[in-house]
Copies of this chain bind each other. A is one copy, B any other.
Amino acid sequence: MNITAAYTDLYQITMAQVYYGTKPNGRAVFDYYFRHNPYKGGYSIFAGLEDVLNILETLEFSSSDMNYLKQKGFENDFLNYLKNFSFKGNIYACNEGDVVFPNRPILQVEANIIEAQIIETLLLNILNFQTLIATKASRIKYSAKDGILLDMGLRRAHATGGYYASRAAAIGGFDSTSNVKAAEDYNIPSTGTMAHSFIQSYEEEIQAFRDFAKMRPQNCVLLIDTYNTLKSGLPNAIKVAKEMEERGDKLLGVRLDSGDLAYLSKKTRTMLDDADLSYVKIVASNQLDEYVIKSLKEQGAYIDIYGVGTNLVTGKPDASIDGVYKLSEFNNTPRIKLSENIIKTSLPFKKQVYRMIDENNMFYGADAVTINSEESVSLMEHPFDNTKSLDLNRFKHEPLLQQVMKDGKRIIASRTVTEIKEYSQSRLQQLPNEYKRFQNPHIYKIGLSPKLKKERDVLIKKNKF
């Protein structure tokens, strides 16, 4: 399956037909944002932007798409429009890899409303998922500290979503992936060990180790739990490590994939050290996530490299982030979506978001949202509580939304996954640890400029029943 413009919800095309017939030149601004950080966490990592920009630059309906839509009964004039469809709008976005928070725009689309609707599904589909996984990966990295992190989740990923999972995991802080295709296309380091089946295909475990070590002496990691970790796998691995030394090779590591990883890793470390193999690393895997790794660390487990699969690539336990795409301006007039829950009421206008940076170059803990046409902001007000406000004069104001696409063409240089990962890590350095802890993290504040708040409240009143 290739992504074409038909990678969308049918209602986008249905609505497009009505727009086409009634207001074909309508100009819209849509905000992309999410309502909650996943995992009850204190932050998220924005990911997927490069993919979205690259896809949008060449997005069109294929001839197969056109045949299908004709068969669905769309009219010829409109089908002709779709045949020539391309995205020609502007996009403003946070930097990919940035630390982001709920209920403030992370990305804005400014385009003909037909184009803006047709790309909605694709944009949400890519950004929601990659942001979910990059956030999960960054949490796992926070637990693992200087431990090396290997993504090995492709077999349990959501079909080809696994391709994007590996990219997002790297952005969130993973060091390498087992996913060859993603490594190849996104230039992510690829690594791997061996499977139980490899050992099972031999009569003797040690022969499997010997063959592997001879033919793959570089980065050789032996899987030691096929029959019995401490009585068979590890003693055989030690023998083979010694044989490798005689040839001038060095065993990189042994891998534990079952049992009590804390206990087994300590025993393994001792047995390796006793055999003068202190350079041999211990790789552990088996249903790891940020909590299991934290617990292993607390128990003093000796693990150098963590292989993380299912919980990473499926973004468990949440498995989704609640990203939405809301109309905030149409033909230069502000628009709002009401809700009985005021927190779900959308913010009107094309906007800018300013991050407050303190005197130590750390994030202060507040983003101020303004109407884009406001040139600066010196005070932010609580979105709902009229008694609360914050003077912003003592902070450095960092505008988060930058134009990344103009008239359908990207205007920022491509960034590699490695560049985005490094940027993300540097931004996380600016985020105080109170926002990173897993239990009841600090809540990163949002405020509105007095003008935005006033205009929003006017619109709420106007549309209320």
Contact = CB atoms under 8 A, between A and B. Distances in A.
A387 interface: no
Q: How many copies does the complex hold?
A: 2
B125 A10 contact: no
Given A3-B160, A158-B161, A201 B338 contact: no
A117 B195 contact: yes
Contacts of A7: 154, 160, 163, 180-181
Contact of A198 (B15, B21, B161, B226): B15
A231 B218 CA distance: 71
A259 interface: yes
Contacts of A180: 6-10, 13, 65, 68-69
Interface in A1-34: 1-4, 6-15, 17-19, 21-23, 26, 28, 30
Given A14-B194, A314-B319, A160 B1 contact: yes
A59 interface: no
A198 B20 CA distance: 12
B200 A330 contact: yes
Given A156-B320, A227-B463, A337 B196 contact: yes
Interface string A134-165: 00000000000000000010111111111111
Contact of A159 (B21, B26, B160): B160
B337 A226 contact: yes
Nearest to A61: B180
A10 to B, nearest CB: 4
A449 interface: no
A404 B136 CA distance: 39
B125 A162 contact: yes
A18 B198 contact: yes
A403 interface: no
B156 A124 contact: yes
A123 B320 CA distance: 24
A192 B125 contact: no
A106 B164 CA distance: 28
Contact of A18 (B163, B215, B330): B215
Please indicate which of the listed interface residues A15, A180, A326 has the most CB atoms of chain B within 10 Å of its own CB. Answer: A180
Interface stretch (A183-191, A266-274, A297-305, A354-362): A183-191
A340 B126 CA distance: 41
Interface in A201-228: 201, 211-212, 215-216, 218, 226-228
B465 A327 contact: no
Contacts of A95: none
Contacts of A424: none
A184 B327 contact: no
A179 interface: yes
A319 B161 CA distance: 13
A316 B158 CA distance: 12
Given A211-B22, A215-B21, A339-B258, A161 B155 contact: no
A128 interface: yes
A129 interface: yes
A444 B113 CA distance: 53
A68 B179 contact: no
A18 B216 contact: yes
A73 B218 contact: yes
A192 B2 CA distance: 22
A125 B6 contact: no
Please indicate which of the listed interface residues A200, A317, A340 has the most CB atoms of chain B within 10 Å of its own CB. Answer: A200
Interface string A113-137: 1000100110011101110000000
Contact of A160 (B69, B124, B161, B315): B161
A11 B159 contact: no
Contacts of A425: none
12 contacts: A2-B2, A4-B181, A10-B180, A15-B212, A18-B215, A23-B201, A68-B183, A158-B314, A159-B160, A159-B165, A196-B337, A319-B319
Interface of A: 1-4, 6-15, 17-19, 21-23, 26, 28, 30, 64-65, 68-69, 72-73, 113, 117, 120-121, 124-126, 128-130, 152, 154-165, 178-181, 183-185, 190-198, 200-201, 211-212, 215-216, 218, 226-228, 231-232, 258-259, 310, 314-317, 319-323, 325-327, 330, 335-340, 463-465
